[in-house]
Amino acid sequence: MNRPSSLKSRLWTGASVAVLGALLYALSSVFVPGAGAKAEKKTEKRVEKKPEKKKLSGAELYSMHCNRCHPERYPTERTAAQWKTILLHMRVRANLPAEQSQMILKYLQDNSGR
């Protein structure tokens, strides 16, 4: 019987995946800035202290992210409501950060077909 791994290693793999998943979720809620209301306040304070960097626009983020996988689509190709649904799909498929996804959506909706 050829087995590349023993029962222990299989259990270890399963347990590792579960622990990693739980850790990621926990970290996102507790340590990642912006995950909770408290974190938002902290972020605001931090922004006040540091000099504000130039923030990327929705159009720039659109060029940056969408061009990774496909030729850019014209904002006029879809309606504002359609872009909302499509951006939700792309946020999941392309793993886009929430805030950047919102900025891209706003850019597309502002320049959409209807």
Partner 1 sequence: MKTRSFALGCACICCALVVPLPVGTAAAIDDQQFNELKDLVTKLGQKIETQDQRIEQLEKTHAQDAQVHAQDQKTHEQDQQKIQELQQKLGETQQAVSNVQTAAIAVPVEPLPRVPLDEATVNHNFSILGDAEFQYAKTSGQHGTFLFADFAPIFLYRGGEKVLFEAGFDFGLQNNAPNSPGATTTINLSFAQLDYLMNDYVTLVAGDMVLPLGTYSERTAGWLNKIPDDPLPRDLLPGAGVGAQLRGAVPLGESGKLINYSVWGVNGASSADGTGNADQLDLGGNVGLRSDNAVANLHGKPSGGARVGWFMPFKPHYDLELGLSGQSGEWDNAGQHLWSAGVLDASLHLGSTVEVKGEYIRSCYGSDDHGNVRPEGWWLQASYKLVGLNLDWPVINNLELVNRYDSIHDGLGTRTRRYTLGYIYYFSNTLLFEGGYEFLHSNDPTQKDQLIFQLSYGF
Gap between the Cα atoms of 19 and 37, Å rounded: 26
Gap between the Cα atoms of 111 and 114, Å rounded: 8
From the CB of 49, what's the least distance to partner 1, in Å?
15
Among 50, 104, 45, 46, residue whose Cα is nearest residue 75: 104
Q: Is the Cβ–Cβ distance between 23 and 33 less than 8 Å?
A: no
Contact status: 104 vs partner 1 (CB under 8 A):
no
Contact status: 76 vs partner 1 (CB under 8 A):
no
| DSSP structural state of residue 68 | T
Residue numbers 4-43 binding partner 1 by CB under 8 A: 4-5, 9-10, 13-14, 16-18, 20-21, 24-25, 28-29, 32, 34-35
Contact status: 73 vs partner 1 (CB under 8 A):
yes
Contact status: 105 vs partner 1 (CB under 8 A):
no
Among the residues of the chain, which ranges form H helices? 7-30, 37-49, 58-66, 80-93, 98-110
Residues at the contact surface with partner 1, assessed by CB under 8 A = 1-5, 9-10, 13-14, 16-18, 20-21, 24-25, 28-29, 32, 34-35, 53-56, 60-61, 63-65, 67-74, 78-82, 84-86, 88-89, 91-100, 109-110, 112
